[in-house]
Amino acid sequence: MSTPAFDIASLHAFYAADGTVAEIIDQVFARIAAVDDPGIFLHLADRQSLLAEAAALGTFDPAKPLWGIPFAVKDNIDVAGMPTTAACPDYTYGAIEDATVVRLLREAGALVIGKTNLDQFATGLVGVRSPYPIPRNAIDPMLVPGGSSSGSAVATAQGIVSFALGTDTAGSGRIPAGLNNIVGLKPSVGALSTTGVIPACRTLDCVSIFALSVDDAWHVFSVAAREDGDDAYSRAVPATGYGRLPPMLSIGVPAKADLRFFGDAVMAAAYEDALDMLRGLGHRIVEVPFVEFYDVANLLYEGAWVAERYAAVKDFFDTREASFHPVTRKIYGAAKTLTAADAFNGFYALQAMRRKLAPVIASVDLFCVPTAPSHYTLADLAAEPIRENSRLGTYTNFVNLLDMCGIAVPTGKRSDGLPASVTLLAPFGRDGLTASLARDIHRASGLTMGATGWSLPGAGQPDTEIAPGIDIVVVGAHLSGMPLNGQLRELNASFVREARTMDAYRLYALAGQVPAKPGLIRVEAGTGGEIYVEVWRLTPDAFGRFVAAIPSPLGIGSISLSNGTEVKGFLVEAAAISGATDITGYGGWRSYVEAGAQQKAGGAR
C-alpha cells in the first residue's frame, strides 16, 4: 500500500484500508531524517513509546475524529512526560500533565510527535530569536521561517505532521503560516483553552492551529474548541458556521492609500491578485480607512501589554535575566520602567479605539488583509532585527486587541515564486465564516499543500457540506448583503443555497418598516410568482432564538420551493398587505431594491 498524504482524510482512508499507525510513525521519522532540519524540534517523542501509544488505540475507530493523526506542539504548551522550555534552556521544567488542548486532541486519537522551536517566550514574529538552531523556511531556506511558532509551521509545511499547535498573541499563528504556504487558524480569543500554556500576554493569547488545508484546521478546531472552567479567559465558541458561503459577501480591505508593503511591489501585486480572486468568487470588495487599525497595533508594544509579558515571567526574569535571548531581554527589560498608570492609560486608549472602530468593523461581513507585507531574508534580519520584526506584524498586531478571529490562507505564488497569503478577519465568534471563505480561496488557488507537493483535496470545488441543523428560508432584509443578514451571522448560521418558491406566492413591499422589509404571502397556485429566496441553516438553539425575535407582522410558516421541498421560512400576516406595494413582478426583494437604487441614480444625473 502506498504511503498517503498526511491530510486527515487521506490518513483515515489509509487506515480504513487496513493501513497501520506504525507505518505512519515510521514515515514521520523518515521525513524528519529526509528534511534534516535540527531547528524544527526541541524534543521528539520516543519511537517505541509512540508505537505503544498507537497499539493502545486498537483498530481504526472513525468515531475518534483524529484517530492516528500525528501532530506537533509548540514548546510553550505542556505535553505530559516532555520538557517545556519556551526556547529558554534555563527555564526548562518537566510537564506532569497535558495542556487542556493537548489532552482533548489526544482523547480524539491524535499522537504527539514532539515539541517545536519558537521565538523565545513566544515574543517575536521572525522565528530566529531562539538559542537553538533556527528552523529553515520550508519554501526557501534563505527566508525567515516566521514566528513565534516557527517549528510548528515548518513541521506542518514539510509534511512531517498533519497539523501542529502554535500560539498567537500578535500574529504568531498567522505569519509563519503565510511564509510557509500553509493554513494558520487563529481562533477567537478564549475558544481554545490556554490552561497549560506559558503566557505571553495572558489577556490576548490564543492557541492556534497550523494545517495543510482549511478542512483539517477546522477539523482540529471542532475537537479542541471547548470552554474550560480552569481557564479564567476561556469562552464558549461553538464550532459552527463552517459551510457554503452566500453570494456577495462584503469584504473590507485597507484603502489603497493605507496599504503598507514597505517597497515590496511583488507582494502588493500578489495581494491585488487575491482580491481579484475574491471578486471572481462572487464577493464585493469594500475599501475602508485603515490607519486607526495600525494605531491599535502600535499599542501592543507599549505600556500595558509589554508589562503583561514581563509579568508572565517576572520572577524568572528578575533572577535569571542573562538567560534571555538579547532581543527578548531588551523587550522585557523595558517593562521595568513602566508604571500602573502607563498600563491604565493603555487600556483607556484601546477602549476608545475599539469604540471608534466598531462601526467600521460592523460595516462589512469580514476583512481580507495581506498576511505579511513582505518576505524577509535571514540577512535582512541580521541587519535590522527590530524593524523587520515590527513590519511583519503590520496586519496582525491589532487583531487580538480588537477581539477578532482570523485565518491565514495561501492564495497562490507571487511572480517570483514565493508564497502569497491573505488573512481573513471577523469579529469574535465568527470563526466559521472566515474559515469557510478561506476554504474557497485555498481551493481556487490551485496550490499544492505546504512544501510537500501533495494535491489539495477538493481543489476547484469551493462548495462544502453543511453541518446538521434546521433550515430557514429568508426572503428580504435577511438575504446576504442585506441590512439584517448580520443577525444570522451572529448566530453562526450557514448558507445552504439560493432557491425559488413555487408560483404560489406574492411579494409585497411593506409600509412603515425600518429597515425596509417585504412580506411573502401564499396565494392560489399559478396566481403568484416564483420568488427568489435563500436557505440558511441554524442549530436548534439558534433557530429558537432567531424565531423568538421575529417581530409582527412577520412570522414563520412552511414555504413550498420550486424543487418540491418544503422549508420553514418568513411569511407575513394577511392584514399587513393593506397599503403595501405588490412587487411580485420583480421576482424577489433584491431585484426590487436594486431597481430602486438604479432609478435613484438615474434621477441624480
| This prediction's pTM | 0.87
SS3 of the chain: helix, strand, coil, percent, to 5: 35, 20, 45
Q: What is the DSSP string of 435-456?
A: HHHHHHHHHHHT-EETTTTEEP
Fold match flag (8-238+378-455 vs 470-604): no
State how far the Cα of 522 lies from the Cα of 502, in Å rounded to an integer: 10
Specify the CATH number of the domain 470-604.
3.10.490.10
3-state secondary structure of 548: helix
pLDDT of residue 605: 43
3-state secondary structure of 284: strand
pLDDT (tens digit per residue) in 516-556: 899 999 998 889 999 999 999 998 989 999 999 888 888 89
Q: Which of 215, 159, 214, 153 is nearest to 34 (CA)?
A: 159
pLDDT of residue 463: 59
pLDDT exceeds 70 at position 227: yes
Given a contact cutoff of 8 angstroms between Cβ atoms, the answer to whether 221 and 185 are in contact is yes
Architecture of domain 8-238+378-455: Alpha-Beta Complex (3.90)
Percent of the chain, pLDDT > 90?
78
pLDDT exceeds 70 at position 602: no
Task: Show the CA angle centred on residue 439, arms to residues 487 and 422, nearest 5°.
Answer: 90
pLDDT exceeds 60 at position 462: no
Which sequence spans correspond to the domains of the chain? 8-238+378-455, 470-604
pLDDT exceeds 50 at position 604: no
pLDDT exceeds 90 at position 491: no
Compute the average pLDDT of residues 295-316: 89
pLDDT of residue 600: 60
Alpha helix segments (H runs only) across 281-394: 291-299, 304-312, 314-320, 326-334, 340-362, 378-383, 385-392
Annotated catalytic residue, options 172, 188, 374, 480: 172
Is 409 or 248 the better-scoring residue by pLDDT?
Answer: 409
pLDDT (tens digit per residue) in 348-383: 999 999 999 999 999 999 999 999 999 999 999 889
Residues present in the chain in total? 605
pLDDT of residue 218: 97
Annotated catalytic residue, options 74, 115, 186, 517: 74
The verdict on whether 356 is a catalytic residue reads: no
pLDDT exceeds 70 at position 397: yes
Annotated catalytic residue, options 148, 149, 480, 494: 148
The verdict on whether 415 is a catalytic residue reads: no
pLDDT exceeds 90 at position 583: yes
Question: How many Å is the Cα radius of gyration of the chain?
Answer: 25
Average pLDDT score over the chain: 93
3-state secondary structure of 190: coil
- State which amino acid sits at residue 276: D
Residue 472's φ and ψ, nearest 5 degrees, are -140, 135
pLDDT (tens digit per residue) in 269-290: 999 999 999 999 989 999 999 9
Residue 134's φ and ψ, nearest 5 degrees, are -85, 130
pLDDT of residue 497: 86
pLDDT (tens digit per residue) in 97-130: 999 999 999 999 999 999 999 999 999 999 999 9
3-state secondary structure of 353: helix
Which residues fall within 8 angstroms of residue 157, CB to CB, at 6 or more apart?
A: 138, 139, 180, 181, 182, 450, 451, 452
State how far the Cα of 250 lies from the Cα of 32, in Å rounded to an integer: 43
What residue has cell string 412587487? 583
User: Within 10 A of 565 (CB to CB), how many other CB atoms are there?
Assistant: 11
The verdict on whether 172 is a catalytic residue reads: yes
What residue has cell string 411580485? 584
